Amino acid sequence: MTMPLTSITKDAVKLTLTVVGDYSVSQQRLWDAFADPRQLERFWGPPAWPATFTRHEFRVGGRAEYFLSGENGEKWNGSWKFTAVNPISSFEVDDGEDNAEDENMPSSMTFTFDATRTGSRLTIVTRFSSVEAMESTIPGMEEALRAAMPQLDAVLGE
pTM above 0.75, yes or no: yes
Indicate the residue type of 131. V
Q: Is the pLDDT of residue 91 over 80?
A: yes
* HSE (side-chain half, CA atoms, 13 Å) at 145: 21
Q: Is the pLDDT of residue 45 over 50?
A: yes
Q: Enumerate domains of the chain plus CATH numbers.
A: 5-156 (3.30.530.20)
C-alpha–C-alpha distance, residues 15 and 27, integer Å: 28
- In degrees, rounded to 5, the angle at the alpha carbon of residue 84 between the alpha carbons of residues 126 and 22 is 50
| Mean pLDDT value of segment 16-22 | 93
Q: Is the pLDDT of residue 102 over 60?
A: no
Sheet with strand 5-11: strands edge to edge = 5-11, 16-23, 119-127, 108-116, 90-95, 75-86, 63-69, 51-56
pLDDT tens digits along 119-154: 999 999 999 988 888 888 888 888 888 888 889 988
Q: Is the pLDDT of residue 106 over 70?
A: no
Neighbours of 35 (CB within 10 A): 16
Q: Which of 13, 21, 17 is nearest to 140 (CA)?
A: 17
pLDDT at 56: 97
